[in-house]
Amino acid sequence: MAEPSTTGTGEGFFDGPLPRILAHRGLATDAPENTLLAFLSALAIGATHLETDVHASADGVAVISHDADLERTAGRVARIDELNFDELNRVDLGHAQTYPSLEEALDAFPEARFNIDLKSDAVVIPAVEAILRARAVRRVLVTSFDNGRRLRAVHALPGVATSASAVPFAGALFAVKLGLVPLARRLLRDVQAVQVPERVRGVRVISPQTVRRLKAAGVEVHVWTINAPADMRRLLDLGVDGLVTDRADLALEVVRAAHSGTE
């Protein structure tokens, strides 16, 4: 039997004009990060894409949290995977917010597009099930640093959008630096985007040449985590397709100013 294709279309998630502003953990200027209030705050100022992260609770619920534990965000010495969802959902994060489930967030914001980072092997099945129950395949992108984890989710969500994991991207970056765009295209054949920092361990990832060649390989280029307006303008001038940012409010102002010709 032939292996199922992992090639998604990205239809839905990639609808709409460029550039894409991905609100990193929502907009947390007046709300705890990765909460329903942070997502609402981002959407209220005009963001269409929400970047978030999921871990699995002890009882197998996909819970929205960047960290694997509660120490930084809740001041508690405990791990997400040590607590049931009901316990996590009672934790006070401030502003009457708590840890939401992925399904809650997808249901609460049915028009929003979610960029979902799968933070553990244990969360793959709960996240897939939440996406399917919410009928949200067309408006999510699933990704992970770990390629096997990403592929398991993509196989279970036919047509879902996805971005490159670390290992295939490293090969594609090497190829584009050598000008081997067809090789990069083959290495990135199952993804629609690369989501990367400007530098990795001192190696420059984003340059006019790499942006141009990655786009020629057929993928969008999203850069994280960009919070200074001057950096936003510089990267957009290089032709990047998306900014992952803690300050979606500032990024949207930069985009609007550029479109109006006031910069």
In the predicted model, is pLDDT for residue 6 greater than 60? Answer: no
- Residue written as token pair 């940012």: 245
The string of pLDDT tens digits covering residues 74-105 is: 999 999 999 999 999 999 999 999 999 999 99
pLDDT value of residue 8: 55
In the structure encoding, which two tokens stand for residue 47, read together?
């963001």
Angle at the Cα of 127 (from 130 to 155), degrees rounded to 5?
A: 105
In the predicted model, is pLDDT for residue 107 greater than 90? Answer: yes
What's the CA dihedral at 150, 154, 155, 157 to 10 degrees? 140
Where does the pLDDT of residue 185 fall: very low under 50, low under 70, confident under 90, or very high at 90 and above?
Answer: very high
Burial of 184 (0-12, 13-18, 19+ CB in 10 A): buried
pLDDT value of residue 260: 83
Known active-site residue 24: yes
Sketch out the chain's domains with CATH numbers.
20-258 (3.20.20.190)
Compute the average pLDDT of residues 160-172.
97
**Per the residue annotation, which of 49, 55, 66, 95 is the catalytic one?**
66
In the predicted model, is pLDDT for residue 3 greater than 80? Answer: no
SS3 13: coil
Residue whose C-alpha is closest to residue 139's, from 177, 169, 109, 119: 109
pTM (two decimals): 0.94
- Helix, strand, coil percentages in the chain from 3-state DSSP, rounded to 5: 40, 20, 40
SS3 244: strand
The string of pLDDT tens digits covering residues 111-159 is: 999 999 999 999 999 999 999 999 999 999 999 999 999 999 999 999 9
Calpha distance 21→43 (Å, rounded)? 11
**Per the residue annotation, which of 24, 49, 55, 222 is the catalytic one?**
24
* Mean pLDDT over the full length of the chain: 95
